[in-house]
Homo-oligomer: A and B are copies of this chain.
């Protein structure tokens, strides 16, 4: 299968140094894939120059003169018609690529992609879905983006789209779906969770029931559904805790010469631990709900290894028909529920 990925090479904290390196590594491991490197030609050309001919023949540079800043307001983003992010998304819109990947400004990516690639009926804003590491493997959690005011129908759609993502990427055709709540008992929760639970129960999704925050990293279900407020809190709190624990560990190691020696000796173990807990392994959040292309958001601080994971995941989503799967399921489910909200 011939897959082309449009890469916003200017986005993220490190720009082309990371994105172009990752693109070359990705092409090496994906001999059928092609890449369009979008960004300032002069910044990209020198990085590509030394690549082997076998890779060069499968990539091309597409010039885009502007860059969306990490904290730029919407009006100013809209005015940048030649930003690398917008141009990459329009390459997907025009059918020159099937997926776009960016490490840039999340809000801008959501905003431009919903206009360029359109959303499914009833979906105002694409949901952002992360694969989070668990004791057992990983769990797809959504929405971890900006949908802070959700209806039960929105959360139900997240369940449908998350299930299709697990099916496409993990070949898990009956992924279990949990609904994030403050307790597992049926009487727990607020009006939103109770009404969403009814929709999920009545559907033909593999609905597990309520799950709690600790179930995410336990891997209790394959998919965890929540509104963007709770999801953002869960994700950011986890990031904060992981950083604090890392800080504590470094402080304890640096406490004196003896503990430094002990820390040094345990370094191989700590390194493997760090690799396993490294969120970069799971880099690449999928924007779900877009009708005309796959869009992945890489973490802004991603290194080349992490950015390459996002590219690989984008290719995987295209190869496994993520969008047609979602489309078919959405049509079937929304019909079955008599619901096209």
Contacts and interface: CB of A to CB of B under 8 A. Distances in A.
Interface in A303-326: none
Contact of A244 (B190, B218, B235): B218
A74 to B, nearest CB: 9
A229 B230 contact: yes
A264 to B, nearest CB: 9
A234 B237 CA distance: 6
A270 to B, nearest CB: 8
A265 B268 contact: no
B244 A245 contact: no
A45 interface: no
A334 B190 CA distance: 27
Contact of A133 (B229, B244, B259): B244
Nearest to A235: B213
B213 A239 contact: yes
Contacts of A248: 273, 276-277
Contacts of A270: 252
A213 B237 contact: yes
Contacts of A269: 252-253, 255, 259, 262-263, 266
Given A230-B229, A230-B230, A263-B269, A252 B236 contact: no
A128 B259 CA distance: 38
